[in-house]
Amino acid sequence: MGHIYEDYYREVRDSKGEIVEIKTTCPPNFNFAYDVVDRFAFENPDKLALVHRSAEGKETRLSFGELKRLSDKAANTFKKLGISKNDSVMLLLKRRYEFWISILALHKLGAIAVPTSHMVSAEDISERAMVAGTKAIICVNSESICDKVKEAIDKNDIIQIVVGDKYEDKADFNELIAGESDVFERVTTSIDDSMLYYFTSGTSGAPKAVIHDYSYPIAHIFTAKNWHGMNDGDLHLTVADSGWAKSAWGKLYGQWFLGAAIMVYDYEQFYAADLLKLLEEEKINTFCAPPTIYKYLVLEDLKKYNLNNLRYATTAGEPMPKEVSQQFTSQTGIVIREGFGQTETALQICTTIEQSSFPGSIGKASPLYQIKLMDEDGRIVPAGEEGEIVIVPNGNRKPIGIFKGYLGDEKMYEEVWSGGVYHTKDKAIMDKDGNFFFLGRNDDVIKSSGYRIGPSEVEDILMKHPAVFECAVTAFPSKNRGAVVKASIILNKGYEANAKLGTELQDFVKKRAAIYKYPRIIKFIDKLPRTSNGKISRAKIRQQDYKKALEHC
Ligand code: ATP
Ligand code: MG
């Protein structure tokens, strides 16, 4: 008998052994919770599925058998509370293991899970609850979260379930499920029913609510198998809060499809040394984290840790500075392989475990998609030319893993599908071997004196300078040039912000890139504007600069 994932996923390889196509099978009533998790529970109930380490160091280990039992209990509980098929339920559960029990229970019920970051404000919760028509909120019992929820839902009639001890008179998750039956009768869901609403990171503007259907998990088999590089029985760690799509990429579907276990590290405050200790102690096999985490990891002495079990390291979500990548590799011997994708899609571009990583490249097109680069006139551009990353559908069916709409914003959905292709709004260049190089978001590309400058290239150079810890390159308004390049820079400890260093940094870029790319404006700062999941928001810097320029006009 083959592996479970093989019922849904088949690689077609050419004579050189390279994957040329991936054939996926989406049975009309496929439901990840029953057909993958419960099937493992049936075939091998003691198989490890999740290891959770709390902030206090308490460890909880759950097998697939326990996940089935607990998610059945939770599904029965939710049903009794009045949650049923197509109801939307917001999950504000940070990294509590109850998140995984809850989301599986919601999948079983056919309800729509809305994983949400705990960083959002009461106003965001209220707005999102309205957009999503939220029927219930399951949240962590911490004052900061419960108070926000209270403020947000006082105005609405929403069921509230709390994880942890009781909060005021609200129902306690574990108390509720304890007395419930652990047998739940299957609810039939259809492959194109809505399963998830995920909010985007809000890097370029207000976060959008992305709708995914029941086929979405199948698209992540490739993510876990070919990019993260995991095998059945591995332990994988992705650093991400449960509220972001990164969590679906790295701590849920693909991993469990493959029979790997996920490590959940439930820290309150991030310390690089603690994470490294965890990688060593838990013998993590495959690891994924956003670039910012690696920026902190490489400040530690990585050689001090025994990372012998770690086979692979990956990153996505933001430009990865080459310098940071190189430092990590030189200390660990592991090459960080990048991936590119969006909340709206699965992994679009990456370096798989079978490909060699090209320095500075985000990788090659995933065989799940036909990825092309397109110019502003809608023409596909050849290798070596800049274009927007687009996905060209194969026939009529929506490519697997791609969202089915923005909740409450059909116009935006039509816009991103204009001309019959999916527009990522990100710019890249591809070389003749199919390696993609990220230039920036459409709006972040700087147009100066007729030249087009991708912020990533300039940031990469600046990051090579020993004084620079982090930076963001943006367009700054200029009467003569349209815009000039501005670099906002956070310095490493021990460096002093002064004009001399500014000139040195400008010369540093001038020597390494075309002259028009050097930052005419350097600003030393202590903090960069970020989204609530930690991404640098170049849009915010730009907006402030343009606003100021207007005021001075
Ligand atoms: P919003 O859509 O609300 O502005 P967002 O685009 O940051 O936020 P996500 O869906 O979390 O929301 O992120 C996807 C985006 O992240 C991509 O469109 C791209 O701009 C960026 N990104 C993803 N992977 C990479 C990568 N490897 N290198 C550079 N940028 C990346
Ligand atoms: Mg986006």
The interface pTM score, or ipTM, of the predicted complex is 0.99
**Shared domain check, 491 and 378:** no
What is the number of the ligand 1 atom nearest to the C-alpha of 339? 27
What pLDDT does 55 receive? 86
Q: Which of 201, 294, 349, 424 to mutate to test the pocket of ligand 1 (most atoms within 8 A of CB)?
A: 201
Q: Is pLDDT above 90 for 288?
A: yes
How many domains are there within the chain?
A: 3
Residues sharing a CB contact under 8 Å with residue 328, sequence separation 6 or more, in sequence order: 294, 297, 298, 302, 313, 334, 336
For residues 239 and 118, the model is more confident at 239
CA 123 to chain centre: 23
- 156 band by pLDDT with thresholds 50, 70 and 90: low
**Shared domain check, 464 and 413:** no
The answer to whether position 469 is within a domain reads yes
DSSP states of 437-489:
EEEEEGGGSEEETTEEE-HHHHHHHHHHSTTEEEEEEEEEEETTTEEEEEEEE
The answer to whether position 19 is within a domain reads no
Q: Give the whole-angstrom CA distance, residue 165 versus residue 154.
A: 21
- Listed in order, strand segments (DSSP E) in 2-58 are 9-13, 19-24, 48-53
**Shared domain check, 175 and 141:** yes
What is the number of the ligand 1 atom nearest to the C-alpha of 349? 27
What pLDDT does 166 receive? 60
What pLDDT does 268 receive? 86
- CATH number of the domain bearing residue 379: 2.30.38.10
- 472 band by pLDDT with thresholds 50, 70 and 90: very high
The answer to whether position 23 is within a domain reads no
The answer to whether position 161 is within a domain reads yes
**Shared domain check, 536 and 433:** no
The answer to whether position 310 is within a domain reads no
**Shared domain check, 525 and 402:** no
Looking at the chain, the whole-number percentage of residues with pLDDT higher than 90 is: 85
Q: Give the whole-angstrom CA distance, residue 548 versus residue 115.
A: 37
**H-type alpha helices, 24-97:** 32, 38-43, 64-80
Task: Name the residue type at position 97.
Answer: Y
- 217 band by pLDDT with thresholds 50, 70 and 90: very high
Stretch 121-130: mean pLDDT: 90
The ligand minimizing its distance to the Cα of 454 is 1
**Domain termination site, one of 391, 413, 442:** 442
CA of 423 to the centre of ligand 2 (A): 10
**Shared domain check, 455 and 504:** yes
CA of 102 to the centre of ligand 2 (A): 27
**Shared domain check, 478 and 421:** no
The answer to whether position 10 is within a domain reads no
Q: Give the whole-angstrom CA distance, residue 303 versus residue 287.
A: 17
- Listed in order, strand segments (DSSP E) in 179-222 are 194-199, 209-213
Average pLDDT, the chain: 94
Stretch 426-449: mean pLDDT: 95
The ligand minimizing its distance to the Cα of 351 is 1
**Domain termination site, one of 159, 181, 214:** 214
Q: Give the whole-angstrom CA distance, residue 60 versus residue 54.
A: 8
What would you report as the CA-atom Rg of the chain, rounded to the nearest whole angstrom? 23
CA of 200 to the centre of ligand 1 (A): 9
The answer to whether position 24 is within a domain reads no
CA of 199 to the centre of ligand 2 (A): 10
The answer to whether position 322 is within a domain reads no
CA 419 to chain centre: 27
CA of 343 to the centre of ligand 2 (A): 7
What pLDDT does 167 receive? 64
For residues 205 and 374, the model is more confident at 374
Q: Which of 426, 435, 540 to mutate to test the pocket of ligand 1 (most atoms within 8 A of CB)?
A: 426
**Element of type H or E holding 548:** helix 538-551
**Shared domain check, 429 and 488:** no
Domain that holds residue 412: 369-442
**Shared domain check, 169 and 98:** yes
The ligand minimizing its distance to the Cα of 317 is 1
Q: Give the whole-angstrom CA distance, residue 405 versus residue 409.
A: 8
**Shared domain check, 501 and 516:** yes
- CATH number of the domain bearing residue 547: 3.30.300.30
**Shared domain check, 457 and 434:** no
- CATH number of the domain bearing residue 183: 3.40.50.980
8 Å CB contact between 83 and 136: yes
**Domain termination site, one of 214, 236, 270:** 214
Instruction: Encode pLDDT of 342-354 as tens digits.
Output: 999 999 999 999 9
Lining ligand 1 with CB less than 6 A are 200-205, 207-208, 316-319, 338-340, 342-343, 362, 424, 426, 438, 441, 535
**Shared domain check, 208 and 71:** yes
**Could you tell me the two tokens for 148?**
């926000």
CA of 204 to the centre of ligand 2 (A): 7
